[in-house]
């Protein structure tokens, strides 16, 4: 079972937040996470694994403040110790930064790059936030593997379409270049032909003038 919540800010569209029921479900969430997912956990304490799914093209720095605090409060509320404390630190990082090795316990994870782990502090419990999220709560039994494969399949198709579009544009550019080269070549040829024609016309006119002069001379001599 996976719990889903909806969060939104004034200047953004809705975001999906989700978390597993227990540490065993957390294993599947780790395994079948998406590149768009951001993982949240109470720092140095046991807590739920909460994920925020970003919109495509967004980065961790793009998370609206209200949405970030929704995730942090949800993690704190689902920590046996953290829910009773103030000034609780919550760590969050992209799903791609989660490191899982065979020697780790169920639900346990590490990080590939510590520098990519961020921290946000929850000063105290805010019931207004938790009540609002609770109203959006949904329980589902998703096929996480199938959903991940569907997402990856769509991404592969998008990349194929982008490559095809790029090739189409390159082909169009090459066609335009050939047409421009042919046009320049034709223009150059026309200039040469015009020059040759003008030279020929000049010689013809000169020959006619010479012929006319010869005839006039012959006529004069006959007299």
pLDDT, tens digit (0-9, with 9 covering 90-100), for 109-154:
999 999 999 999 999 999 999 999 999 999 999 999 999 999 999 9
Which three-class secondary structure state does DSSP give residue 81? Answer: coil
Tens of pLDDT, residues 56-105: 999 999 999 999 999 999 999 999 999 999 999 999 999 999 999 988 88
pLDDT given for residue 180 in this prediction: 84
Asked if residue 115 and residue 128 are part of one domain, the reply reads yes
Of residues 100 and 206, more confidently modeled: 100
pLDDT band for 108, please (50, 70, 90 cuts). confident
Q: Which range (44-48, 74-78, 171-175, 180-184) has the least confidence?
A: 180-184
Asked if residue 189 and residue 85 are part of one domain, the reply reads no
Angle at Cα 128 formed by Cα 122 and Cα 132, nearest 5°? Answer: 110
Q: Are 33 and 43 in contact (CB under 8 A)?
A: no
Residue where a domain stops, chosen among 142, 168, 183: 142
Asked if residue 121 and residue 30 are part of one domain, the reply reads yes
* Phi, psi at 119, each rounded to 5°: -130, 135
Look at residues 21, 30, 5, 14 and name the one whose alpha carbon lies nearest to residue 144: 30
Residue where a domain stops, chosen among 79, 114, 142: 142
Asked if residue 222 and residue 164 are part of one domain, the reply reads yes
Domain, as residue range, for 16: 2-142
Total number of domains constituting the chain = 2
Asked if residue 151 and residue 124 are part of one domain, the reply reads no
pLDDT given for residue 11 in this prediction: 73
pLDDT band for 184, please (50, 70, 90 cuts). confident
Query: What is the Cα–Cα distance from 120 to 91, expressed in whole angstroms?
Result: 7
């Amino acid at each position: 079972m996976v719990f889903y919540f909806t969060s939104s800010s004034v200047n953004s569209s809705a975001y999906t937040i989700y978390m597993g029921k227990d540490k065993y479900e957390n294993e599947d969430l780790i395994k079948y996470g998406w590149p768009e997912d951001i993982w949240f956990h109470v720092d140095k304490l046991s807590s739920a694994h909460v994920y925020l799914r970003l919109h495509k093209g967004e980065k961790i720095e793009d998370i609206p403040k209200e949405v970030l605090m929704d995730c942090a409060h949800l993690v704190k509320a689902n920590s046996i110790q953290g829910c009773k404390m103030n000034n609780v630190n919550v760590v969050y990082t992209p799903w791609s930064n989660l490191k899982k090795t065979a020697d780790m316990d169920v639900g346990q994870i590490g990080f590939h790059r510590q520098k990519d782990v961020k921290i946000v502090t929850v000063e105290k419990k805010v019931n207004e936030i938790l009540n609002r999220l609770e109203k959006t709560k949904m329980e589902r039994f998703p096929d996480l593997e199938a959903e991940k494969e569907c997402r990856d399949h769509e991404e592969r198709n998008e990349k194929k379409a982008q490559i095809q579009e790029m090739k189409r544009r390159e082909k169009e550019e090459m066609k335009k270049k050939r047409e421009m080269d042919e046009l320049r070549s034709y223009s150059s040829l026309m200039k040469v032909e015009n020059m040759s024609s003008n030279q020929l016309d000049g010689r013809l006119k000169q020959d006619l003038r010479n012929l006319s002069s010869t005839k006039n001379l012959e006529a004069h001599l006959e007299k």
